[in-house]
Copies of this chain bind each other. A is one copy, B any other.
Amino acid sequence: MEEINLVKDIFFSPSKAVSKKDKKIEEAKKGWDKSGEDTRKRMVDAKSFRKAGTKVVDASDCVALLEAVLRPGDRVYIEGDNQKQADFLAACLTKLDKTKVNNLHMLQSALALSDHLKVFEKGIATKVDFCYSGPVASELATMVMEGKINIGAIHTYVELLCRMYLDLIPKVSLVAANAADKNGNLYTGFNTEETPAVVEASKFRNGIVIAQVNEVVDKVPRVDIPAEWVDFVIATDEPYYIEPLFTRDPGLITESQIFIAMLSLVGIYDKYKIKTLNHGIGFNTAAVELLLPTFGEEMGMKGNICSHWALNPHPTMIPAIETGWVKTMMPFGSEVGMENYLMTKPDIFPVGPDGTMRSNRVMAQLAGHYAIDAFFGSTLQIDQYGNSAAATAGRIPGFGGAPNMACNAPGRRHPSPGWLQASKEDGMRKDLIGPIDRGRKLVVQMVETFGEGMSPVFVEKLDAFELQKQAKFAIPPVMIYADNLTHIVTEEGIAYLHKCKTLKERMDAICAIAGYTPLGMKAEESKTKKLRKDGIVSLPEDLNLSFNDAKRSKLAAKSMADLVRWSDGLYEAPTRFRNW
């Protein structure tokens, strides 16, 4: 038996470990470090690509490096992130010799680039676990049906990330950063996103980490990922690709969307005193953001709502920030063109000692799950029970972050007024848990009754069922389940679904605000009257609002140029959004 003080030694100062014990540990490790033995073998060849005394590898050696570190059947993460893309590494993957490297199991938050699919077309990879695939949703569906891609599962972001620590550990991780020094310290800039979480998942399981960087520098502005966690860095000719995913042009916001935003502000944001929140992507929520300094101010809502945000730095938030609505914002990633502006707002955004922002997808998603009172978003389809989905036949867009944020957080315990009120009003609570007070997150869908191409948003049955059959999924890909949804807002009014005592009553409430869609045509005036009386449905007149008031003149910014002006020229809109 070892001496007890050895425990203290190893625990408190491993650098002082006693050699006799070291030997015993090395001996005992045998047979329990197969992943390490395997990695060390791969590294023998791979290390030869490093420039002497550094972790730097020439971009021209990248394909050969990948062939040295990869083995058939490996689980490989590629960043494939929500916004930034390790696009150079993705391109290199497509160039691998399929006879050497094949059957890879890819892990990636986003399938976004054509190279992501090409890896499968070429047979280099066969299986994927992912979260979001909006940009290639149709192509992905086709390849799944042709048997070219085997989907492990579709996840919400943090779900996939935490599985990388448990049952989907990546052997090799291919990531992107802004800069590295020659030792491998990484600087991720504003788009830190999920890179540190993934690098840790790999490196502390004997994995191999390869980073493409925009430049190798003598000293990184700050260390986002320590050198020992990174094996290879490759400076690329072109900076990594990044998508301005959260930018919406105020010029495209319609009066119908403004009206829905006004209804929501009066009937939900203000009614429940929502201070902590997340917005999905879309014009409905962009309208809310641009109404705060105008309509919100007139209605006396300032100070009572919308002070703390789990949100990427939406350019449409600039007027609300400038007029003092926002206390803090916690971003998942950054947004192209917002960098200079963010540097000037350390009281609101997480700006580091180096002066640039550090985002954090894991902590922002956690805040989006646990710390916020309400999620406001939009969707393509809502069924008669209140389930919603963005998947349609022939398209697999994935889930992204919505399932995590647009659900109740049953583990939450800290109270706030809106959270308590929503549960107090909950018509089914007593049937579920008896006469006990608790809280509940608000999950709100803001939709026009007819969506793009005049297809009805309200449907009897989701297209997700059809897709389930096509792609042979175990269950249909539902984005938000009916029992997590609390409110639907359309141009017809608001349904306070969580107040309903039965599924039948909820179905009636949905019909009441579903307009001229087939579901809406089922609404009965007498039922709607009773639902209004019971406070389950509010029509615009019940909120003292009229469509005539929904004018574009109410928007704090009416164009991209307006947003740039609000920022005093600090927001630099991406080219595609500039018409001046």
Contact = CB atoms under 8 A, between A and B. Distances in A.
Interface stretch (A51-59, A140-148, A427-435, A542-550): A427-435
A14 B355 contact: yes
A11 B336 contact: yes
A398 to B, nearest CB: 9
A344 B28 contact: yes
Contacts of A165: 330, 350, 360, 363-364, 366-367, 371
A108 interface: no
Interface stretch (A97-105, A403-411, A514-522): A403-411
A395 B358 CA distance: 40
Total copies of the chain:
2
A8 interface: yes
Nearest to A185: B226
A111 to B, nearest CB: 15
Given A6-B340, A387-B433, A204 B414 contact: no
B33 A346 contact: yes
B28 A166 contact: no
A222 interface: yes
Contacts of A224: 226
Given A1-B569, A439-B475, A366 B158 contact: yes
Contact of A158 (B2, B189, B370, B414): B370
A438 B363 contact: no
A344 B32 CA distance: 7
A51 B212 CA distance: 38
Nearest to A7: B572
A336 to B, nearest CB: 7
A533 interface: no
Given A226-B222, A436-B387, A366 B362 contact: yes
A21 interface: yes
B197 A363 contact: yes
A170 B13 CA distance: 29
Contact of A153 (B4, B403, B413, B475): B413
Contacts of A24: 340, 570
17 contacts: A2-B569, A6-B572, A7-B337, A13-B217, A25-B355, A29-B345, A33-B347, A153-B414, A200-B360, A201-B363, A226-B226, A383-B434, A403-B411, A410-B481, A415-B474, A431-B502, A433-B482
Given A153-B415, A162-B367, 20 more contacts: A11-B189, A12-B214, A25-B344, A28-B344, A28-B568, A156-B370, A165-B350, A165-B366, A165-B371, A166-B328, A166-B330, A200-B360, A228-B353, A362-B366, A403-B411, A408-B410, A415-B474, A430-B503, A436-B476, A437-B475
